[in-house]
Structures are given as structure tokens and as C-alpha cells.
């Protein structure tokens, strides 16, 4: 069965510190992957995406993620966190060969930023 | 360009009542998806429309849920009768033809009491 795991339910960092949010997946087919962010009272905003090619992808707001096929991981990173990054982050995976269909989401990671 | 919109933003109903959620996708997006997040759980896929046709409804929990997309534009998701376990946030997303990239709406928070 397809699954996505975000091991950390809640992470707290200080403003200016670096950040890494983990995402591991288990998929039978070749995956494509996304990170979404949901700020309080807002919808899901696409941060970045990986379909193929260069395994290090850049997104909005200074985020990047690295696809590691051997580790089945797609971790999200940011070198210096800003207070406005406090939000919930979701890793989502889809499978090529399906009809542009469903995404499987991780449980989400809530990020708290201390001043 | 307007994003995906959902109405209402919040609905509170009693068990046994009926609720209809609406989603307006981005103009030109043939693909429309419904997802749901029950409190404390992950966001789960419900179904996928391509234009007015149901492409994949494998995530629909039971026959109390009915999704429609007449004319291939907006979509409605009706829950009848609502049960307590239906409470959660219902997200709609859309994508262009031939694209895997889904754009999400703000969600409708449904509370069944």
C-alpha cells in the first residue's frame, strides 16, 4: 500500500535557525512529490515540487527539498527560518501511470518558530 | 487569476442533517479533486473528476457522500445524512489538463454535532 510518513508531528525552532522537515514514502510506482504549507486560516499552498531530473529542487520562500530515491525520502530544508514560516507542512506523493490522480499525504508537521 | 474557491468556509450541522459543499476550480482546470482531513489524521483523497466524469472515486467513504460536477465547472459534495465522524476539513483542488500539479482551495470546515 502507498504511504507517506512525516515522522515529526511538531517541531520548534528559533528564528534564524536552520530547518529540516522529514518525509519518507513507500510507493510501488515512480513517484512525483510535493511539499505544501498551510498557514493558520489559509488553504494549502504549494511550496515546491519534484517530477524528475535534478534531485535538489528549489521552491518559494527560500525552501528547498532533495529527492533521494535510495532512501525513499524528500526532506524539506530552509537555511534560516523566519517567524512567518510558522505553519503546518505537508508532504504529498503521487504516482506516474495514474490518470493525474490522487495524492497521498503525510500526517503533517507543525512548525513553531520562537523569536 | 482567481484560485480555487470553496463555500462555505465553515458549516455546523446536527447529526442526520444534510450539507452541501461547493468548489469552484480555477478556470480551465479540467481536473477537480476532493480531499478530507479528519481531526488528527492525514489529508485523504476522496475522488477525482475529469470534466464532468468521475475518474476515480475510490476514496469516498460510503454512500452518504455524493459528488457531482454538472457541466464540468463547479462541483458539489453532499453529505446526507451527516454523521459525527464526517466532521473535518474538506479540501478541493484542481489541475490543468495533462498536469500533475494540484492547486488547493482554503477548505470547508464541517462540524457535525
Q: What is the DSSP string of A29-88?
A: S-EEEEEEEE-TT--EEEEEEE-SS-SEEE-GGG-EEEEEGGGTEEEEEESS--GGG-EE
Residue B1's pLDDT is what? 66
> What pLDDT does A98 receive?
63
- pLDDT band, residue A105 (cuts 50/70/90): very high
Question: Over 70: is that where the pLDDT of B24 sits?
Answer: yes
Pick among A10, A57, A103 to test the B interface (most B CBs inside 10 A): A103
Q: How many CA atoms lie less than 13 Å away from A62 in the CB half-sphere?
A: 11
- β-pair type (B10-13, B108-112): parallel
* CB nearest A102 (choices: B45, B104, B106): B45
Per-residue model confidence as pLDDT tens digits over A28-63: 778 899 999 999 888 899 999 999 889 999 999 999
Nearest in space to A35 (alpha carbons), one of B104, B97, B50, B59: B104
B7 touches chain A (CB under 8 A): no
pLDDT tens digits, one per residue of B83-109: 999 999 999 999 998 888 999 999 999
For the cut 60, the answer to whether the pLDDT of residue A91 exceeds it is: yes
Cβ-nearest to B56 among A101, A105, A107: A101
> Which residues numbered 45-64 in B keep a CB inside 8 Å of some CB on A?
45, 48, 50, 55-56, 58-59
Helix-then-strand count for chain B, H and E: 0, 11
B96 CB burial (10 A radius; 0-12, 13-18, 19+): middle
Q: What is the pLDDT of residue B61?
A: 93
Contact indicator for B23, B2 with CB cutoff of 8 Å: no
- Per-residue model confidence as pLDDT tens digits over B32-80: 999 999 988 999 999 999 999 999 999 999 999 999 998 889 999 999 9
> What pLDDT shows up at residue A99?
54
Average of pLDDT values for A9-19?
Answer: 97
Give the pLDDT of residue B103: 94
Q: Report how far residue A83's alpha carbon sits from residue B34's, in angstroms, rounded to the nearest whole number.
A: 31
B6 vs B110: CA distance, rounded Å: 12
Nearest CA in chain B to A45: B104
Q: What is the distance between the alpha carbons of residues B94 and A83, in angstroms, rounded to a whole number? A: 30
Amino acid at each position: 500500500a502507498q504511504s507517506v510518513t512525516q515522522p515529526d508531528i511538531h517541531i520548534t525552532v528559533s528564528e534564524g535557525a536552520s530547518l529540516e522537515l522529514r518525509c519518507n514514502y513507500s510507493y510501488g510506482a515512480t513517484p512525483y512529490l510535493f511539499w505544501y504549507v498551510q498557514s493558520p486560516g489559509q488553504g494549502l499552498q504549494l511550496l515546491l515540487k519534484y517530477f524528475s531530473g535534478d534531485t535538489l529542487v528549489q521552491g518559494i520562500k527560500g525552501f528547498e527539498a532533495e529527492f533521494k530515491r535510495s532512501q525513499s525520502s524528500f526532506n524539506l530544508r530552509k537555511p534560516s527560518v523566519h517567524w512567518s514560516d510558522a505553519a503546518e507542512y505537508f508532504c504529498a506523493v503521487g504516482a506516474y501511470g495514474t490518470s493525474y490522480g490522487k495524492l497521498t499525504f503525510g500526517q503533517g508537521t507543525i512548525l513553531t518558530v520562537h523569536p | 487569476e482567481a484560485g480555487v474557491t470553496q463555500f462555505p468556509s465553515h458549516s455546523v450541522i446536527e447529526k442526520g442533517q444534510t450539507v452541501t459543499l461547493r468548489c469552484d476550480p480555477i478556470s480551465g482546470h479540467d481536473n477537480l479533486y476532493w480531499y478530507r482531513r479528519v481531526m488528527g489524521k492525514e489529508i485523504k483523497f476522496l475522488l477525482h473528476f475529469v470534466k464532468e466524469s468521475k475518474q476515480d472515486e475510490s476514496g469516498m467513504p460510503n454512500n452518504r457522500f455524493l459528488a457531482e460536477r454538472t457541466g464540468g465547472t463547479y462541483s458539489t459534495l453532499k453529505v446526507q445524512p451527516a454523521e459525527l465522524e464526517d466532521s473535518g476539513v474538506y479540501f478541493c483542488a484542481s489541475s490543468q489538463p495533462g498536469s500533475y500539479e494540484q492547486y488547493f482551495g482554503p477548505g470547508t470546515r464541517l462540524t457535525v454535532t
